[in-house]
Chains A and B, each alone.
Chain A
Amino acid sequence: KAGVTQTPRYLIKTRGQQVTLSCSPISGHRSVSWYQQTPGQGLQFLFEYFSETQRNKGNFPGRFSGRQFSNSRSEMNVSTLELGDSALYLCASSKQGEAYEQYFGPGTRLTVT
């Protein structure tokens, strides 16, 4: 079974721009969660989607948003990029009823200059 895939793997953007990251979950998984990993803050939860609805949300500003499609694929968007948004963005998927057991993709490394 294929794992979680994320595209693109690397991205360089300029301050003020916006960016969209994509995540394809493991087949059959309906929950998708997003995390931001930075050296100073570790892994922090952004939001979770289940059946195209946002089920949980972390403490990030409204510039961070996401959505989920009917095939469970998910995208996250960051608008008006700031230097501090440079991070590894990780997506994870899980089965219905086992949302705690998450399987991660390789991440998208975003650099904001």
Chain B
Amino acid sequence: DQQVKQNSPSLSVQEGRISILNCDYTNSMFDYFLWYKKYPAEGPTFLISISSIKDKNEDGRFTVFLNKSAKHLSLHIVPSQPGDSAVYFCAASVGSSNTGKLIFGQGTTLQVKP
């Protein structure tokens, strides 16, 4: 039972344009959502998070949107840069402050073309 799903295995965008990565979840008890970026041969790097009580969080070029009624979140990267090319994972947590258990999606490979 996959509680967090990233339905697009890959995404290709032109440098300078917007990248939109999507994630759906099924468990309404999730209270914190996170995005991680992963390069080959490295561990995932924390990018940005959002609490379930919010619908938007912004950090520089990265913005995460949460639609609780649709159980959907998205990561917007504007403008996209070639260095953003990596695998992006969304993850969710229940009982956020006291649990170190994250449920990850399968990942989306983003390619940003110069």
Q: A-side interface residues toward B, CB under 8 Å? A: 4, 31-33, 35, 42-45, 48, 50, 55-56, 58, 90, 92, 94, 97-107
Residues in A with CB closer than 8 Å to B97 are 97-100
Complex: chain B residue closest to A93, CB-CB? B100
Contact B107 A101 (CB under 8 A): no
Contact A45 B89 (CB under 8 A): no
C-alpha gap A50/B99 in the complex (Å): 9
Interface flag for B96 (CB, 8 Å): yes
Residues in B with CB closer than 8 Å to A104 are 36, 43-46
**Residue in A44, A45, A55, A90 whose CB lies within 8 Å of B43:** A90
Contact with A along B68-103 (1 / 0, CB 8 A): 000000000000000000000101010011111111
Interface flag for B49 (CB, 8 Å): yes
With A42-B107, A100-B32, A100-B96 already in contact, the answer to whether A90 and B44 are too (CB < 8 A) is yes
What are 10 pairs between A and B in contact, CB < 8 Å?
Answer: A33-B102, A42-B104, A43-B44, A56-B101, A99-B99, A100-B34, A100-B49, A100-B93, A106-B41, A106-B43
